[in-house]
Amino acid sequence: MRMTDTVLKPMHPEGWRFVGIFAVITALLFWLWEPLGWIGVVLTIWCYYFFRDPVRQVPEGEGLVISPADGMISQIATVLPPPELGMAAEPMTRISVFMSVFNVHVNRSPVSGVLKKMAYTKGKFVNASLDKASEHNERNALLIALPDGREIACVQIAGLVARRILPFVKEGDTLYAGRRFGLIRFGSRVDVYLPPGVTPLVAEGQTMIAGETVMADLTASLPPRPARAE
């Protein structure tokens, strides 16, 4: 791999206008006072990296649930599914992945299946790492029907800085694991709700890579995987 491939990553088209705005402001700052211009250069580079969209190597295998987001698992909890999706009111395991402003923010489908329902809900913009963000924040919920009849929910949640969730898919679309389905701008979180009886293969505090990290295996009956910090 070339050094340039390590440093320079593809950028999602959604980011071009923001990089352009940052660049224009940077030019203005240079005109006003050169030190301010260099601050603008740093922020423009950060904006480019925020919208980066690197190629990922998606694990292939029946029943694998892949992380939909880059970031850290902030919580694994047993909760009811999002009411707006109309799922049965039965407890499900929810895995929450918190994305900082330095993570890739292009989200990917955790499984292969049909997008049965997508529901956008307006809301607040509290810190996405808090548990109440699942209920109170702006969010976009996806219900994915699996080939075996089971369902998985995946919810994009806007955070303290984020102000817009952009979907790339629509109801009825056929998704495949690792497919890009949306983007959240500037800091947020993604929740995955596993079907009943499926245990996660990850732990709180673990770092996730969207499209690559295996969260669970729908075909295996395994106990929760313990972890330790070292």
Catalytic residues: 188
14 secondary structure, DSSP code: G
> What residues are paired with 208 via a beta bridge?
71
Alpha-carbon span 121 to 132, nearest angstrom = 14
Alpha-carbon span 24 to 68, nearest angstrom = 33
Diameter of the chain by CA atoms? 63
40 secondary structure, DSSP code: H
Direct distance between the N- and C-terminal alpha carbons of the chain, in angstroms, rounded to an integer? 30
> What residues are paired with 188 via a beta bridge?
99, 158
Helix (H, G, I), strand (E, B) or coil at 121: strand
Q: Residue 75: enclosing H or E segment and its boundaries?
A: strand 71-79
Q: Are 195 and 119 in contact (CB under 8 A)?
A: no
Q: How many helices (H) and strands (E) does the chain have?
A: 4, 13
Distances (CA, A) of 214 to 16, 52, 128: 31, 22, 22
Helical ranges in the chain per DSSP H: 3-7, 16-32, 34-50, 133-136
